[in-house]
Amino acid sequence: GESVGLHLPTLSVQEGDNSIINCAYSNSASDYFIWYKQESGKGPQFIIDIRSNMDKRQGQRVTVLLNKTVKHLSLQIAATQPGDSAVYFCAVFDYKLSFGAGTTVTVRA
Amino acid sequence: DTAVSQTPKYLVTQMGNDKSIKCEQNLGHDTMYWYKQDSKKFLKIMFSYNNKELIINETVPNRFSPKSPDKAHLNLHINSLELGDSAVYFCASSQGEGERQPQHFGDGTRLSIL
């Protein structure tokens, strides 16, 4: 089955700086990837997704990069704001969604 | 408008009891899920249903029994609760089964076993 790992369990970033959260996956047949944000007391909230036929996708202040060669994806958040403080999960789809362990992002004022 | 709603939000009960968690989605999705999130925030799928049919059962003890009366509802009944069942349980839904579409989550039910 799919194994999903995050590179760093925590990330502290200065307000206004860019954040990068990394994720590795094991199954080269995985073809759909999602980033979720989970705030305290809430459920995971969809941020952005990407299919394996793409290597980059941009949303509002977020960019997801997919490197299928090394089975790695990343989430970049531009101009990080206090409201971006949360736990971020990558999720990888083969026949089901497998979630990574989560990176806790803390934004310093 | 709440897209995926779960009740109750908090559930505190004694070991050995039986309890149910309800979930409803108003997104018109075909597929619904139950996930368990442990104290380390690790999120793992338990079940998925597509149009009331069980699709995924991820080696969950048979004390857990999901029931889908219609495609907008997926309830979770747990018998003989154990200490290790303490967790946050999330319901989710998505359009289609096996399709590459994002899943939308409820805000969770925090289950504490005394």
Asked if A101 and A5 count as a contact pair (C-beta separation under 8 A), the reply is yes
| Structural tokens at position A90 | 């990558």
Interface contact A1, partner B, CB < 8 A: no
Q: Please answer whether residues B21 and B74 qualify as being in contact, where contact means their C-beta atoms are separated by less than 8 angstroms.
A: no
Domain ranges of chain A: 4-108
pLDDT of the residue at B9: 97
| Shortest distance, CA A22 to any CA of chain B (angstroms) | 16
Q: A5-18: per-residue pLDDT in tens?
A: 767 899 999 999 99
CATH number of the domain within which B78 lies: 2.60.40.10
Q: Is B73 on the interface with A (CB under 8 A)?
A: no
Res. B38: pLDDT tops 80: yes
CA contacts within 13 A on the Cβ side of B84: 4
CB pairs under 8 A between A and B: 48
Instruction: Please give the class, per CATH, of domain A4-108.
Output: mainly beta
- In terms of residue numbers, what domain contains B78? 4-113
How many domains are there within chain B? 1
Tens-place pLDDT, residues A48-70: 999 999 999 999 999 999 999 99
Q: Looking at the partner chain, which of B4, B42, B105 has a beta carbon nearest the beta carbon of A101?
A: B42
Task: Give the residues across from B70 on adjacent strands.
Answer: B73
